[in-house]
Amino acid sequence: MPSEWDTADIAALVRRMRAGERRAIARVVTELERFSPAAPRLIKALEPHFGGALVVGFTGPPGAGKSTLLNAYTAHARRCGRSVGILAVDPSSPVSGGAILGDRIRMQSLSTDDGIYIRSMATRGHLGGLAPAAHEVVSVLEAAGCDPVLIETVGVGQDEVEVARLADATVLVLVPGMGDDIQTFKAGVMEIADVFVINKADHPGADHVEQELRAMLSITPRHDGWSPPIVKTVATTGEGTGSLHEALRQFRRFGQKESLIRRRQEAKWRARLLNMLRQRLFEKVVTEGLSEAAIGECVQEVVEGRRDPHSIVEEMIRKAGVRC
Ligand SMILES: Nc1nc2c(ncn2[C@@H]2O[C@H](COP(=O)(O)OP(=O)(O)O)[C@@H](O)[C@H]2O)c(=O)[nH]1
Ligand SMILES: [Mg+2]
């Protein structure tokens, strides 16, 4: 692909991507992740094809079986004739990080299937927080015809709550032996679960976790009226993936009826628009408006106490022609 993109290049790439060509999908994702100069035009060309897929986030403690379950669910969706997009999110490290590597090997049997597209990325953007491109990656997978799009996170924490904002439905994966721990589970994490999975149901104690969960859900009903179903699975054999699929379908139906999914989409777009604006303004002020030398000079002025940083920032914004 040339460094200077013309309209025909973009149209050709989008066409190949929409046909499900893996290299084209990878290319679009990379351009968006890097916020390359072509990114805004690519997003514009893809916008008509955004939305429509069920985006499911899988979260839960490390070792609960999220990757295995995601694989089993993917196999189920493939049997139903669906194309599946997978975004593996590693909160700490770049893509080369070990945590993802283990999952990648397990995902290898899936990755030779043309109906499955897997992408891994770090959650941390260069400015901290969820990488803004995570939104774009999910949208690109949707535009490429993947439905569902599955997102896997590595553990339970703030990143998961952020990732849940990307998803239409969040599956919280628990395992036997966690019964008593459920009380101490962070409230924020419990609240994001639209469907609970008790995986490793081949181990003793699955019923106990289920009882604990039901007790907890009965005393803290959700404000939106949805009662999260509890599904038992054995991810290693695929047992229960049909029930998980059914639970997600029910949630989707409820969400559409109660305009819950719509409200989530609004929240998602709000975050996304602000991210895009932040990125664009930053680019305008820094990348387009300032040279490295000019920034270096400002740093010197601050360090030597000649100027205060606030007035410098104001001046940078003014020089870039952004009116506040
Ligand atoms: N017995 C049993 N083992 C499972 C099940 N699901 C996953 N495992 C195993 O649990 C380990 C952790 O699974 P993994 O999918 O990597 O967990 P993750 O860290 O949540 O992604 C692996 O060795 C899996 O083979 C299950 O349903 N039953
Ligand atoms: Mg995993």
- What does each of the 324 residues of the chain score in pLDDT, given as a tens digit? 555 778 888 999 999 999 888 899 989 988 887 778 888 888 889 888 887 899 999 988 888 998 899 999 999 999 999 999 988 876 554 443 334 444 544 555 565 778 888 887 765 554 444 556 778 888 899 999 999 999 987 665 566 666 777 888 999 999 998 756 666 666 666 778 999 999 999 999 999 999 988 988 888 888 888 999 999 999 999 999 999 999 999 999 998 887 887 787 787 778 778 877 887 788 778 777 788 898 899 999 999 999 999 999 988 888 877 665
* Sign of torsion over alpha carbons 197, 203, 209, 214: positive
What pTM value is reported for the model? 0.79
Ligand 1 contact via 57 beta carbon (within 6 Å): no
Tell me if 106 sits within 8 A of 68, measured CB to CB. Answer: yes
Choice from 68, 69, 90 to test ligand 1 binding pocket (greatest atom count within 8 A of CB): 68
CB atoms within 10 A of CB 128: 8
The answer for residues whose C-beta is within 8 angstroms of residue 52's C-beta and 6 or more apart is: 142, 147
Which residue intervals of the chain are DSSP H helices? 7-18, 22-33, 39-46, 66-79, 98-111, 133-143, 158-164, 187-191, 206-219, 241-257, 260-282, 292-303, 309-319
Amino acid 264: pLDDT: 77
Give the dihedral of Cα atoms 255, 266, 29, 274; nearest 10 deg. -160
Nearest ligand by distance to the CA of 202: 1
The residue contributing the CA closest to ligand 1 atom 12 is: 63
Please work out whether the CB of residue 244 comes within 6 Å of at least one atom of ligand 1. Answer: no
- Phi and psi angles of residue 66, each rounded to the nearest 5 degrees, phi first: -60, -50
Atom of ligand 1 nearest to the CA of 237: 27
Neighbours of 239 (CB within 10 A): 14
pLDDT at res. 93:
44
The rounded Å distance from CA 162 to ligand 1 centre is 24
116 class by beta-carbon count within 10 Å (0-12 exposed, 13-18 middle, 19+ buried): buried
